[in-house]
Structure 1
Amino acid sequence: MVELDTGSFLAALPLTALTVVLVLGVTFAVALRVGRHAVVDVAWGLGFVAVAATAYLLSAGDGDGVRRTLVLALTAVWGLRLAWHIARRSRGHGEDPRYAALMAKAPGNPNLYALRKVYLTQGAVMWFVSLPVQLAMFQTVGPGRLAWIGVGVWALGFAFETVGDHQLHRFRTDPATKGQVLDTGLWRYTRHPNYFGDACVWWGISLVAFDAWPGILTVLSPVVMTWLLAKGTGKPLLEKDMAERRPGYVDYVRRTSGFVPLPPRRREHP
């Protein structure tokens, strides 16, 4: 049995896409003003919040109130915290090296090249990954057991992401650890607790949508997010030249799981 107001959901899709365009359009204008395209990273979390809020307003009277409020809360708490964390981390810094390298090889206008390669790509991914959020807003039944399991998965991921970010911030701001590798706390079990947590957050939110038919049809959204974090623009890009900047990183990679938290392997002694 279809537990979705299909007509209203389909009618809302162009409006949520417009929301993504507006968020990233404003972000692009801000980036041109401040001379840093790194501000788009702050807009990543805020864009998901804006999409969730738009779908929440459009689904009033169509979707179940408890489910709508639950999905909005999960998305907003995650997105606002992430935006705040990235804004705090980048305060006082110049352009992100990733974007500087991208614009350095631009065949024409660097800003238009960044608009095409960064903003349009990020906008398409944002809208696609947020489909479980959008669909859940229009589901007509209250959350069941799978939805509450999803809340638990979300909580696990949010804890990993928040604690991991806090541990890394504390490590980076300590002069005594300059040039060293963080291998304590959650970072002892995975090289990327924040990325693992991010993946869990989106699987948790998606489970809320999977709880009622046809939510499972959006399963590719969390799959894409997980792939980006573990194999795409997340982990591989961050680790690309880490060994050159931190001498102990090669050994850290050898003994520490790359994504899913696992007990560390023993050090090999000569």
Structure 2
Amino acid sequence: MGVRTVSRAGSMGVVGGAYLLALGVAYAVVVLAPPSWHPLLTAFVADLVATLLIFGLSMVLDNASLYDPYWSVAPPVIAAWWVVAADTGDGVRQAVVLLLITVWAVRLTANWAYGWAGLHHVDWRYRQLRATRGRVPWWLVNLGGIQLMPTLVVFLGLLSVWPALAGSRPFGLLDVVATALTAGAIALEAVADLQMHRFAAAADNRGRILATGVWRRTRHPNYLGEIALWWGLWIFGVAAAPTWWWTVIGPLGMVVLFKAASIPLMDRRSLDRRSGYADHMREVPALLPRLR
């Protein structure tokens, strides 16, 4: 029996097994890493090795979507290890940051699981990439564009989490701002996904445009929430250790990723599938919400 005929429950088991293996190889890197390595370097190498394992398994299973949960699964694992590895750090900030990252990760992973039908399901974007890759080998597209690139972008976003967890400044007003922004971002993503699931579940809405709720003010509220989350984590890092301000490259990288890749791709798909979407694009901003 091929993997394409495995049940949804069996497919989830395969994914779970794959990620346990990835966790195992990442742990091996942590154990074997030279003591001279900074926790940032150790985590980066472990992250890359785990990504390569998931890539290899995705090629064996012929399903690049095996990587999809990695975006939300890796950050809480890395953050939890950094709490252990940090010699210093404010306990209140550590607890708040780790809790927020965990809540975000559980919710986003659950949202992925809700929409994933099983090993026969491959994200439409990956199918499109595979069909339009020209002479570029599929394994290279899969490795570089689908798996390594997101891993690197997310790790850039996580750079500010290290000072947030290891910085010695006590929890203060700037942390309160970061908490509000990060929690609000998670809530926005949750509301946006819930409204989209309800809209998509109604057969009458096929081919229509969701323009109510948070989707009335911005075309991509889920992306806005995701970007805001990484800015919130950066503020935590600056609050704990201001000299780490340069980790702003993380949230800036997220902005570039969504503005240059994710949003144009989703808008082009909606233009092909939904009548009137061009007018919708003129009326509703892509990210920053309209106030009226």
Give the TM-score, by structure 2 length: 0.80
Distance 1:223 1:146 in 2: 20
Q: Please state if 1:51 is matched with 2:70.
A: no
Q: Out of 220, 234, 242, which is 1:192 matched to?
A: 220
Determine helix, strand or coil for the equivalent of 2:175: helix
Count of aligned pairs: 255
- The yes-or-no answer on 1:201 pairing with 2:232 is no
1 CA distance for matches of 2:198 and 2:181?
A: 26
**Which of the residues 238, 244, 247 maps onto 1:210?**
238
Of 159, 162, 170, the residue aligned with 2:190 is: 162
Q: Distance in 2 between matches of 1:9 and 1:251?
A: 57
**What 5-or-longer segments of structure 2 have no aligned partner?**
1-34
Q: 2:65 aligns with which of 14, 21, 38?
A: 38
- What is the aligned partner in structure 2 of residue 224 from structure 1? 253
What is the aligned partner in structure 2 of residue 85 from structure 1?
111
SS in 2 for 1:219: helix
Structure 1 unmatched ranges of 5 or more:
1-7, 265-270
Structure richer in helix, relative to its length: 2
Once residues 269 and 217 of structure 2 are traced to their aligned partners in structure 1, the CA distance between those partners, rounded to angstroms, is 21
Partner of 1:237: 265
Alpha carbons 2:227, 2:254 under 8 Å: kept: yes
Instruction: Find the counterpart in structure 1 of residue 130 from structure 2.
Output: 103
Deviates more, 1:160-169 or 1:92-101: 92-101
Root-mean-square deviation over aligned CA pairs: 2.1
| C-alpha displacement of 1:106 | 5.6
Q: 1:112 to 1:64 in 2, by over 3 A?
A: same
Per the TM alignment, residue 190 of structure 1 is displaced from its structure 2 partner at its CA by 0.6
Residue 70 (1) aligns with residue 96 (2)? yes
- Separation in 2, partners of 1:117, 1:133: 25
- Other-structure match for 1:251: 279
**1:162–1:106 CA distance, 2 compared to 1 (3 A):** same
TM-score normalised to structure 1 length: 0.87
Same amino acid, percent of matched pairs? 30
Contact 2:189 2:222 survives alignment (8 Å): yes
